[in-house]
Amino acid sequence: MMKKWRVLGLIAAMGAVLAVSGCGDKQATGAKGNAAKKATDGLVLGFAHCCERGQIRTMDAVEDVIRQEAEKAGVKMLFETAEETKHIVKGEDGKDKEMDDYYDLQPVQMKKLIDAGAKAIVLITVQGKEEEKMQAEMLEYAQSKGVSVVAVRRPLKKSIHTRFANAYSVGSSPEAVPALQSKMIVDQWKKHADWDKNGDGKIQFGLIRGKEGSANDNLRKTVPNKIISAGIEVQRIDEGIANWNREEGKALVEGWIKSGKIDQMEIIISGSDDMALGALDALREANKPVPPIFGFNAVKEAQEAIKSGEFGGSLLRDFTGHGKMAYKVAENLALGKSPIDGIDAELEGGTTINLPYDIVTQDNVDQYLK
């Protein structure tokens, strides 16, 4: 009987030890959770958007993701978009003066966010001839206040990264686009012998370009040259500027339809899906056969056109991934951590995270539509 009680006592003692141990684990886990919560308690971050909501859908998508990430982390996020900033400047008569010049607008956004307590800023920047001067003005103020800036979707100029230690970029390398878009076109052309309508072995094409003089347009207009480098001859039937805009893309292609040039085009190459969708609108309304259209961004409507065969393909940038990554980098910097703490990514040149593009064609579009 004595032995039995000793065994029972030993089991009870072991249970008590395990219970205490389990309790300790829970307490440790709880302590870690509380520590994580305390790290972001009272943290304020900012988001500056160069344009108005609805102008460029991919920018809106990035903003939406950043809102969600901040809410999940319990972080206060201050937002400044073009609509919210336009009327804050006083004119010489003391009245509010509307600001239509985005190069003037963005430094005001930056100052407002930092003065309101933001410890790091996520930025979608204006692009164009004056962007370097504008970015320098913003970064100078941010640096003077000890605030880091993370550009998303549109990278900061390389000279800005060189001059300012508190400047980072998250996106996908724009320099990679011409090679990838040309590869997509060449691979699909080789698969579809029926696309060569006149049988001359050349690609007769129309080119829809973005904004004259912009860095992205300067890169993407080189796609035909990349196709030639891949060993396929090309013939440009026509090209035009559509300023990244669907309606302007539609108007351009309506002109090609009226002139009869569209009938000579075996493919259409577009610098963006919005312009490409405008081309598709024009062709559908005119009840014309649609030559394969190649775009960029792989938005949902473009994916549907790829599935139907009206688009030949598009390049996808993971804007959800961009938004999440930019938010996390900003949070890390505001907390005094490494920019890539807890992030599975490389910081190229100590300043830039580049996420890869996906080539989307009929072969794989279903996985993206899902």
pLDDT at 296 over 50: yes
pTM, full prediction = 0.70
3-state secondary structure of 276: helix
> Using an 8 Å Cβ cutoff, are 302 and 362 in contact?
no
Please tell me the predicted confidence (pLDDT) of residue 122.
96
> Using an 8 Å Cβ cutoff, are 278 and 250 in contact?
yes
3-state secondary structure of 226: helix
The set of residues, in sequence order, having a beta carbon less than 8 Å from that of 237 and lying 6+ positions away, is 204, 205, 206, 256, 261, 264, 265
Domain ranges of the chain: 43-172+319-355, 176-316
3-state secondary structure of 313: strand
Mean residue pLDDT across the chain:
86
- What type of residue sits at position 192? H
The set of residues, in sequence order, having a beta carbon less than 8 Å from that of 47 and lying 6+ positions away, is 63, 66, 77, 78, 79, 80, 113, 121, 122, 123
Of residues 56 and 339, which shows the higher confidence score?
339
- pLDDT confidence band for 256 (50 / 70 / 90): very high
For 43-172+319-355, CATH number out of 2.102.10.10, 3.40.1210.10, 3.40.50.2300, 3.20.20.80 equals 3.40.50.2300
> Taking the alpha carbons of 308, 314, 315, 317 in that order, is the dihedral positive or negative?
negative
| Rounded-to-integer distance, Cα 16 and Cα 27, Å | 16
Please tell me the predicted confidence (pLDDT) of residue 25.
46
| Rounded-to-integer distance, Cα 214 and Cα 236, Å | 21
> Using an 8 Å Cβ cutoff, are 163 and 87 in contact?
no
| Rounded-to-integer distance, Cα 349 and Cα 28, Å | 38
| Rounded-to-integer distance, Cα 126 and Cα 70, Å | 23
- pLDDT confidence band for 4 (50 / 70 / 90): very low
Topology at the third CATH level for domain 176-316: Rossmann fold (3.40.50)
Proportion of the chain above pLDDT 90, given as a percent: 68
- Torsion from C-alpha of 286, 287, 291, 294, nearest 10 degrees: 60
- pLDDT confidence band for 318 (50 / 70 / 90): confident
The set of residues, in sequence order, having a beta carbon less than 8 Å from that of 316 and lying 6+ positions away, is 297, 298, 357, 358, 359, 360, 368
pLDDT tens readout for residues 117-168: 999 999 998 877 788 999 999 999 999 999 999 999 888 999 999 999 999 9
Please tell me the predicted confidence (pLDDT) of residue 370.
83
Proportion of the chain above pLDDT 70, given as a percent: 82
pLDDT at 86 over 70: no
- What type of residue sits at position 218? N
- pLDDT confidence band for 101 (50 / 70 / 90): low
